[in-house]
Amino acid sequence: ARKRCQAKNSGRCNNQIRKHEPKVVDMIDVEDIAEKAAFCRCWKTKNWPYCDGSHAEHNKQTGDNVGPVVIKK
Ligand code: FES
Instruction: For residue 45, report the distance from its CA to the centre of ligand 1, in Å.
Output: 5
**Annotated catalytic residue 23:** yes
pTM, 2 dp: 0.83
Region of 57 on the Ramachandran plot (φ > 0 left; ψ -120 to 50 alpha; else beta): alpha
* Pocket probe mutation, ligand 1, options 14, 15, 16, 45, max atoms within 8 Å of Cβ: 45
**pLDDT of 3 over the 70 cut:** no
Give tens-digit pLDDT for 27-46: 999 899 999 999 999 999 99
Cβ 48 under 6 angstroms from ligand 1 = no
For residues 33-43, b (16+ Cβ closer than 10 Å) or e, as one string? eeeebbbbebb
ipTM reported for the complex, 2 dp: 0.99
